[in-house]
């Protein structure tokens, strides 16, 4: 590798620098042969390598590669080690297919279950998404292949995705939409980060200096290059100034000329261009340290895809019918049984090395069992009563009905959002009709995001969420159904009862060029907790063929400093008769805070495997950020001294143990009081309370004398209100101090504004 990048840059012409910052093709960087700068090849991902034979084409059929489960299934494994193993396999395929950087993973939040690209994203929770993204990146990059963490940031819908402005406040941005990216950047150091198409608060993601430079590069210390999503750049010079290093796709001579002209005219500082060139060269040379070529183990990777799919499937309902055993006749119904629905449409669409068809996989595992098949529903949105009738006849004569229901591509894909949470009318009618004649029925779902089930779920015996389960998913489903694998997946997103219950419902998908994130911090389970709304299935939920008990919960310290964090420990016992895996989740609840906080937030988890009767002690560490929140006025993450509840659960709605510990904040925060600060804010600030204390008492005394109050502020009024029918101090504590003093101007020796200005000088002075 050439280590003296500055020497290379000093020898490059302005035209070569500008060209390097734009792609040479749909999938490669621009080489500079005279200086030994090679090309770098990238490929779509993230759950498989979509390597097209010709880098100048975007539409050719890609070379065969393993199609692993999509992110919604991966997230439901809650298994960081398994994702790292998958990352290793992806890197091996990149090396074999001559790919230097795989474009993925996606770490955007699932703001609404309607998001058309949700199958490519991990979770509604930033902590879980960040842990999983970091693990997958570490797995890929450990083999010398780069990644591209995407789509940075606030890319949560397909409606007007190239132009819509996501209007989101800074605190929500920091606490919900950036932490997964932050965690992945800091823990895994991705080679590249991909900007989003959309605007964020009116500025395109490709030109977002606040996000790309101030936060990503300066605050988080990102050392790689920032690449555009394909076609996301509108103004190449503005994008360079914002922090966008590499524009894709190419070639785009007009963009190159624009950069050259901007430097020559003084509009663009060449030093800024050089910084982007340096970042690109660093990654290009780093990529070439890994020799490319050879082959990958197709069979081993197919089996790994099968293992991951089985681990990610979530058993949503089971009245005892599963696992299937000793049944003479199983009626298999549903188009997806003979035609596996295992991936989504769009840029992540993989040409699989092989596909495990669910019906054939059932046949391979069903010893002494008769299997019959009916298609059940068409691939389009037509209604076919004859297909339903055929399925009903088949199910009526069987011992068990097994329905494979796949959400069709016309309802769910990259490029457009869903309009509802429903299956097709045909699929719903099919489930209900079969259930009437065969209550011993299992519904297997293949989809990338939640679906509504209230119309039929009470009528069926079992529901298995199979997700878009990758090319080996058909075999994994059979493994779970017949009990060869004990299901252990848990939901990484809430399944609501109905669309109107969802957090973004009133603000989706926006209009007039803007979408307002009016729900703020409260997405996913945070919202359902706050509203006390029932859900179909809660975040973190999933059944097993065994059962688990929690006990002996302990915390490493009852009193702790924020910088030290603490450790939560709990014993988990397999109380059933078969081996299984449990996912232990730790949520944090702040008993009292200056700003509103969610009822609880996931801050740790662990997956543990247990034999029947076995007990293991599980320890989960919680760091500073587990207790902190972002304060927009301080412009930093802060902690506050006080009590925190540590909630240990099997899901967000199934808390098994509750502990309490007292945090001591070590932060020395600057005073942020100003001319508009309220009396309450002054008294909440240590320096403000010290300076204002005596005056506050005078204000209270004078106020109650003026308005005839008989009660002290804060005491029960017992019906003895002021002459104007209210407790005036209840109102005045939330008025600016200067406004309160204005009402008492006659008793002051100077104007209210001068008095408050003097108080502010005291609190902001050293040692105040």
- DSSP letters for 637-664: EE--SEEEEEEEEEETTEEEEEEEEEEE
For residue 593, the 8-state DSSP code is -
- How much is the pLDDT for 766? 57
- How much is the pLDDT for 732? 82
Collapse the DSSP code of 100 into the 3-class scheme (helix H, G, I; strand E, B; otherwise coil) and give the result: coil
CB-CB contact of 306 with 476 (8 Å): yes
CB atoms within 10 A of CB 266: 8
- Give, for 731, the enclosing helix (H) or strand (E): helix 728-732
Collapse the DSSP code of 144 into the 3-class scheme (helix H, G, I; strand E, B; otherwise coil) and give the result: coil
CA distance 175 to 526: 12
Tell me the pairing of strands 615-622 and 566-574: antiparallel
310-493 falls under which CATH superfamily? Glycoside hydrolase family 3 C-terminal domain (3.40.50.1700)
CA distance 430 to 560: 57
Walk along the chain (768 residues) in steps of 10 and give the mean pLDDT of each run.
84 98 97 97 96 90 97 98 98 98 98 97 98 98 98 97 97 98 98 98 98 98 98 98 98 96 98 98 98 97 98 98 90 98 93 98 91 96 97 97 97 95 98 97 98 98 98 98 97 98 98 97 98 98 98 98 98 98 98 97 98 98 98 97 98 98 95 93 89 81 64 44 62 88 75 90 75
Domain boundaries of the chain, sorted by first residue: 5-287, 310-493, 548-664, 679-764
Q: How many CA atoms lie within 13 A of 71 on its CB side?
A: 29
What lies within 8 Å, CB to CB, of 545 at 6+ separation is 315, 322, 323, 483, 486, 487, 576, 578, 580
For residue 217, the 8-state DSSP code is I
Q: Which of 493, 531, 504, 521 is nearest to 652 (CA)?
A: 493
pLDDT digits (tens, 9 = 90+) for 326-374: 778 999 999 999 999 999 999 999 999 999 999 999 999 988 899 999 9
- How much is the pLDDT for 767? 52
CA distance 183 to 129: 9
Q: Which residues are registered as beta bridge partners of 373?
A: 332
pLDDT digits (tens, 9 = 90+) for 21-62: 999 999 999 999 999 999 999 999 999 999 999 999 888 899
Q: Which of 47, 174, 168, 80 is nearest to 492 (CA)?
A: 80
User: Is 0.85 surpassed by the pTM of this model?
Assistant: yes
CB-CB contact of 72 with 119 (8 Å): yes
Question: Rounded to the nearest 5°, which phi and psi values hold at 293?
Answer: 115, 180
> Catalytic one among 229, 590, 685, 727?
229
Domain 5-287 = CATH 3.30.2270.10 = no
229 catalytic residue (yes or no): yes
Please give the full DSSP string across 607-629, using - where no structure is assigned: EEEE-TT-EEEEEEEE-GGGT-E
CA distance 749 to 31: 75
CA distance 312 to 74: 6
What lies within 8 Å, CB to CB, of 542 at 6+ separation is 76, 314, 315, 316, 487, 488, 489, 490, 491, 583, 651
CA distance 164 to 17: 32
Collapse the DSSP code of 243 into the 3-class scheme (helix H, G, I; strand E, B; otherwise coil) and give the result: coil
* Architecture of the 548-664 domain: Sandwich (2.60)
CA distance 665 to 727: 34
- How much is the pLDDT for 731? 81
Q: How many CA atoms lie within 13 A of 228 on its CB side?
A: 32
For residue 736, the 8-state DSSP code is B
| Polymer length of the chain | 768
């Amino acid at each position: 590798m050439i280590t003296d990048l500055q020497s290379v840059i000093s020898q490059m012409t302005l035209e070569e620098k500008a060209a390097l910052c734009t792609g040479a093709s749909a999938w490669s960087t621009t080489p500079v042969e005279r200086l030994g700068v090679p090309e770098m090849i990238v490929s779509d991902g993230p759950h498989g390598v979509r390597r097209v034979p010709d880098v100048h084409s975007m539409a050719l059929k890609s070379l065969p590669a393993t199609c692993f489960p999509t992110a919604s299934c991966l997230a439901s494994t809650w298994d960081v080690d398994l994702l790292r193993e998958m990352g290793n396999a992806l890197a091996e395929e990149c090396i074999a297919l001559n790919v230097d950087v795989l474009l993925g993973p996606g770490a955007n939040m699932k703001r609404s279950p309607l998001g058309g690209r949700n199958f490519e994203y991990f979770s509604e929770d930033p902590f879980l998404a960040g842990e999983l993204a970091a693990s997958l990146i570490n797995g890929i990059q450990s083999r010398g292949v780069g990644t591209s963490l995407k789509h940075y940031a606030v890319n949560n819908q397909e409606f007007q995705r190239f132009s819509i402005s996501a209007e989101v406040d800074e605190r929500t941005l920091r606490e919900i939409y950036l932490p997964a990216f932050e965690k992945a950047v800091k823990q895994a150091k991705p080679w590249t980060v991909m900007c989003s198409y959309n605007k964020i608060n009116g500025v395109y993601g490709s030109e977002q200096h606040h996000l790309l430079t101030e936060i990503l590069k300066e605050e988080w210390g990102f050392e790689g290059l920032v690449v555009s999503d394909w076609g996301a750049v509108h103004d190449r010079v503005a994008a360079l100034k914002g922090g966008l290093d590499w524009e894709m796709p190419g070639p785009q001579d007009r963009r190159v000329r624009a950069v050259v002209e901007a430097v020559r005219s003084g509009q663009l500082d060449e030093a800024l261009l050089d910084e982007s060139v340096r970042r690109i060269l660093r990654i290009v040379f780093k990529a070439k340290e890994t020799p490319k070529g050879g082959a990958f183990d197709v069979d081993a990777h197919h089996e790994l895809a099968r293992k991951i799919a089985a681990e990610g499937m979530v058993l949503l309902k089971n009245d005892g019918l599963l696992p299937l055993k000793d049944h003479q006749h199983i009626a298999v119904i549903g188009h997806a049984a003979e035609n596996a629905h295992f991936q989504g449409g769009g840029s992540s669409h993989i040409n699989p090395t092989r596909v495990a068809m669910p019906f054939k996989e059932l046949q391979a595992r069903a010893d002494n069992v008769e299997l019959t098949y009916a298609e059940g529903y068409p691939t389009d949105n037509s209604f076919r009563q004859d297909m339903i009738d055929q399925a009903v006849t088949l199910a009526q004569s069987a011992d068990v009905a097994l329905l494979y229901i796949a959400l069709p591509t016309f309802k769910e894909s990259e490029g457009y959002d869903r309009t509802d949470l429903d299956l097709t009318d045909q699929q719903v009618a099919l489930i209900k009709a079969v259930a009437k004649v065969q209550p011993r029925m299992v519904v297997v779902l293949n989809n990338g995001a939640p679906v509504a089930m209230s119309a039929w779920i009470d009528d069926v015996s079992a529901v298995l969420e199979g997700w878009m389960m990758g090319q080996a998913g058909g075999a994994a489903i059979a493994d779970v159904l017949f009990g060869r694998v004990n299901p252990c997946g848990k939901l990484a997103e809430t399944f609501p009862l109905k669309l109107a219950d969802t957090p973004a419902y009133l603000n989706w998908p926006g209009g007039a060029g803007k979408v307002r994130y009016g729900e703020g911090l409260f997405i996913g389970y945070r919202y359902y907790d706050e509203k006390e709304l029932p859900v179909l299935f809660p975040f973190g939920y999933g059944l097993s063929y065994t059962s688990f008990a929690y006990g002996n919960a302990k915390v490493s310290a009852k009193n702790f400093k924020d910088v030290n964090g603490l450790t939560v420990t709990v014993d988990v016992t397999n109380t059933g008769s078969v081996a299984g895996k449990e996912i232990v989740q730790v949520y944090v609840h702040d008993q009292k805070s200056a700003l509103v906080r969610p009822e609880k937030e996931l801050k740790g988890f662990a997956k543990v495997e247990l034999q029947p009767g076995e007990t293991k002690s599980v320890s989960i560490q919680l760091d500073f950020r587990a207790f902190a929140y972002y304060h927009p006025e301080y412009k930093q993450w802060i902690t506050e001294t006080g009590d925190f509840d540590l909630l240990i659960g099997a899901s967000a709605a199934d808390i098994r143990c509750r502990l309490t510990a007292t945090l001591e904040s070590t932060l020395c925060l600057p005073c942020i009081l100003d001319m508009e600060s309220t009396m309450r804010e002054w008294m909440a600030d240590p320096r403000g309370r010290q300076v204002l204390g005596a005056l506050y008492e005078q204000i209270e005394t004078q106020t109650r004398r003026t308005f005839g109050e008989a009660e002290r502020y804060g005491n029960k009024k017992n019906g003895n209100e002021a002459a104007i029918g209210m407790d005036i101090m209840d109102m005045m504590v939330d008025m600016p101090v200067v406004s309160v003093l204005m009402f008492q101007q006659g008793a002051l020796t100077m104007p209210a504004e001068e008095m408050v200005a003097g108080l502010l000088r005291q609190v902001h002075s050293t040692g105040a």
